Every structure is written in C-alpha cells, then in structure tokens.
C-alpha cells in the first residue's frame, strides 16, 4: 500500500510535468497545426535557465522563476518570427523537420553553454518529506502537482476569457473566417509560442527541482506524443488527463513490472489509441483518414 501511494505521487508529479509540456504542444498545434518537436528542448532550456538564474547569478527564487519564464518566452518568440513564419502553409514533413532542426540547435546551444555534465544547485522546492501513514512522500514532488495544476488551469482560463485566447480558438476553428474578422494570425502564432514556452519553462523549473539539471531532460520531449495522442491533439484538458494517465502508467509498470517496460508502455498505448480512437479522449473528432 505504501509503495502504491509512493508510486502514485511520483507518477502524478511526472505526469504533471508531461502535462505542462503537452499543454504547450497542444497550444501550438491548435493555433498553427505545427507538430512541435522542440517541446522537450524548451523544457531543457527551462531547467538550465533556472540553474543559471538561481545557481549561477544568485537571484532569489521568485525573481529567478520570472527571469526564466521571460527568457524562455523571448527565445520562443524569436523562433516563431525567424523560422516558423516563413514556413506557414508548407507541407507536414517540412514542419516536422523544421522543429526537429530547431530542437537540434537548442540542444547544441545548451550543451555548448553549460556543458554535458549534470549540474546541481540548492533546490528552491522545500526539502524533506511528508509521512502519510506508512508512506514517505517527498515534499518537492507533492508540491509540483498543485503548481502544475494551477498553471494548466490558468491556461484554460486564458482560452476561455481573454481576447487572445478567444482569437486563438477562432483561428483553430477556421483560419480564413478568423482572418476576415480582423484577427492577426502572426500575432496569434506568436502568442501560442510564447505560451508554450512559458508552460514548458515552468515544467523545466519543476524538473530542475525534482529531478535535477542534466541534458537528459530533453528526452522527455518524446513522452509528449503518447500524452497528446491519448488526450487528444487539440485539448488542454486532454493534455492534463493524458499526462496524469501516462505518468501513472509509467510509475506503476516501473514499480510493479520492471524490466524497463515503463519506457515502452506509453508507446504501446499510443499505437493502440491511434488504431481505435485517433482523436484521443477529448480531441475534436476530425481526423485525416484515408
């Protein structure tokens, strides 16, 4: 039972980090139909920026978080303006390859600046652990769950209540109609990338606190795909629930079955979902089918 509780908490906290990365992915996909392979590298950037801000410059943690998010947003805006905008309307393969190229550049830059060795700094998440019955749960992991949920809820509210959020939904619905209503598509694409970077940066900050700062963080980017396919490519709610489900699934298979099976089970789920219900749990039921 205590193992179960421990696995649940660690699964949920990993799942919430997946959800943060996946939410960014969904925002970009919704607005511009771009499959974003750089999501993992934006997480990576987040972990190294917070290390830079707190560990290297010595800012207090609150200021460090703000600086990290702002820098990540600046990088994302530059990416959107310089690389993605000239390619609006290109075929799927080009969009996939351009984000793969970007991911390669980001990873190379992070490695060149901070080196390949793992780094460490005083965690800003409270140390120690909470004892619930027989289980010992790390406070950092426990705390990361409500933080992520708050960020995701804010993202949901943004879509429902702000001008840019509504414009984004309009564009997702029908680009031409949105254009003729005077919505600026470049602006919306920029906002989408900024939001994706912000949510990934917060995910990266939490990763830095929970797991540590190392180049391996980028590999989480691939975990986004099972999450978004399960939840639905265009649904924030799907990203949250899909993230939690994939995180828990990984934790349980890792804890109870072992054999590295936790690395591959999410992809099995992915293929299954694609075969049975390609639009996922909460996605809109349109899919290009043959």
Partner 1 sequence: MSLECGVFHTRYESDMGLRPRPAQRIRLGAFAVFVLVFPFLAGPYWLDLANQIAIATVGAIGLNILVGYTGQISLGQGAFMAIGAYSAGLLTLNLGLPWGVSIALACVITAVAGSFFGLPSLRLKGLYLAIATLAAQEIVEWAMTHWTAVTGGTEAIVVPAPRLFGVRLNSTFAFYWFGVAMAAGTALFAANLFRTRMGRAFVAVRDQDIAASVIGVNLFRTKLLAFATSSFFVGLAGAMIVYYRTIITWERFTLETSIVYLAMIIVGGLGSIRGSFFGAALITLLPAMIANAGRALQDTAPVVAGLLPYAQQAVFGVVIILFLIFEPKGLSKLWGNVKDYFHVWPFAYRRG
The strand pairing partners of 271, in sequence order, are none
Regarding 44 and contact with partner 1 (CB under 8 A), the answer is no
Regarding 87 and contact with partner 1 (CB under 8 A), the answer is yes
Cα angle: 88, vertex 91, 93; to 5 degrees: 115
| Distance, CA of 78 to CA of 21 (rounded, Å) | 19
In angstroms, what CA-CA distances link 162 with 42, 157, 166?
25, 8, 6
Residue with tokens 């303006």: 81
The residues, any chain, with a CB within 8 Å of residue 198's CB and separated by 6 or more, are: 24, 69, 72, 73
5 or 97: CB nearest partner 1: 97
25 or 121: CB nearest partner 1: 25
Q: Among 58, 128, 285, 289, which residue sits at the site for partner 1 (rule: CB under 8 A)? A: 289
CB of residue 98 vs partner 1: minimum separation in angstroms?
A: 5
What DSSP string runs through 48-99? Answer: HHHIIIIIII---HHHHHHHHHHHHHHHHHHHIIIIIGGGTT--HHHHHHHH
Q: Which residues in 151-210 contact partner 1 (CB under 8 A)?
A: none
| Distance, CA of 285 to CA of 280 (rounded, Å) | 9
CB of residue 289 vs partner 1: minimum separation in angstroms?
A: 6
Regarding 131 and contact with partner 1 (CB under 8 A), the answer is no
Length of the chain: 290
Closest alpha carbon to 109 in 53, 49, 66? 49
Q: Among 61, 158, 252, 267, which residue sits at the site for partner 1 (rule: CB under 8 A)? A: 267
Q: Among 226, 238, 254, 283, which residue sits at the site for partner 1 (rule: CB under 8 A)? A: 226
Regarding 117 and contact with partner 1 (CB under 8 A), the answer is no
Q: Which residues in 45-84 contact partner 1 (CB under 8 A)?
A: 83
Regarding 290 and contact with partner 1 (CB under 8 A), the answer is yes
Q: Among 86, 128, 133, 182, which residue sits at the site for partner 1 (rule: CB under 8 A)? A: 86
In angstroms, what CA-CA distances link 13 with 16, 48, 128, 150, 277?
5, 20, 16, 13, 26
230 in Cβ contact with 280 (< 8 Å):
yes
Regarding 271 and contact with partner 1 (CB under 8 A), the answer is yes
CB of residue 58 vs partner 1: minimum separation in angstroms?
A: 25
| Distance, CA of 245 to CA of 250 (rounded, Å) | 9
Regarding 89 and contact with partner 1 (CB under 8 A), the answer is no
Q: Which two tokens stand for residue 28?
A: 């970009």
Region near partner 1 per CB under 8 A, out of 125-133, 170-178, 183-191, 266-274: 266-274
Cα angle: 47, vertex 48, 49; to 5 degrees: 95
Region near partner 1 per CB under 8 A, out of 135-143, 147-155, 159-167, 253-261: 253-261
Regarding 278 and contact with partner 1 (CB under 8 A), the answer is yes
Q: Among 2, 90, 173, 174, which residue sits at the site for partner 1 (rule: CB under 8 A)? A: 90
DSSP state of 261: G
Q: Among 88, 130, 222, 257, which residue sits at the site for partner 1 (rule: CB under 8 A)? A: 222
Binding positions for partner 1, rule: CB under 8 A: 35, 83, 86-87, 90, 92-94, 96-98, 100-109, 111-112, 222, 225-226, 229, 259-261, 263-264, 267-268, 270-271, 274-275, 278, 287-290
């Amino acid at each position: 039972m205590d193992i179960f509780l421990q696995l649940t908490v660690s699964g949920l906290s990993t799942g919430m980090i997946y959800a943060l990365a996946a939410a960014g992915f969904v925002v970009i996909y919704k607005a511009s139909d771009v499959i974003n392979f750089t999501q993992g590298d934006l997480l990576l950037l987040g972990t190294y920026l917070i290390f830079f801000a707190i560990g290297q410059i010595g800012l207090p943690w609150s200021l460090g978080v703000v600086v990290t998010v702002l820098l990540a947003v600046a990088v994302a805006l530059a990416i959107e303006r310089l690389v993605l905008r000239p390619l609006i309307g290109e075929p799927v393969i080009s969009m996939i390859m351009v984000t793969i190229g970007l991911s390669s550049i980001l990873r190379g830059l992070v490695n060149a600046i901070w080196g390949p060795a793992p780094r460490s700094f005083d965690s800003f998440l409270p140390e120690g652990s909470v004892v619930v019955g027989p289980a010992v749960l790390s406070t950092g992991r426990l705390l990361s769950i409500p933080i992520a949920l708050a960020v995701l809820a804010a993202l949901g509210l943004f879509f429902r209540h702000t001008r840019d959020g509504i414009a984004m939904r309009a564009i997702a619905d029908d680009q031409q109609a949105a254009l003729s209503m005077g919505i600026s598509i470049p602006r919306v694409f920029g906002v989408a990338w900024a939001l994706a970077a912000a949510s990934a940066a917060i995910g990266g900050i939490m990763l830095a606190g929970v797991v540590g700062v190392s180049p391996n963080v980028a590999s989480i980017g691939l975990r986004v795909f099972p999450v978004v396919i399960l939840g639905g490519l265009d649904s924030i709610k799907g990203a949250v629930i899909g993230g939690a489900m994939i995180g828990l699934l990984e934790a349980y298979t890792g804890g109870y079955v072992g054999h590295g099976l936790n690395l591959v089970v999410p992809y099995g789920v992915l293929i299954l979902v694609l075969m049975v219900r390609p639009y996922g749990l909460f996605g809109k039921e349109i899919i290009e089918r043959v």
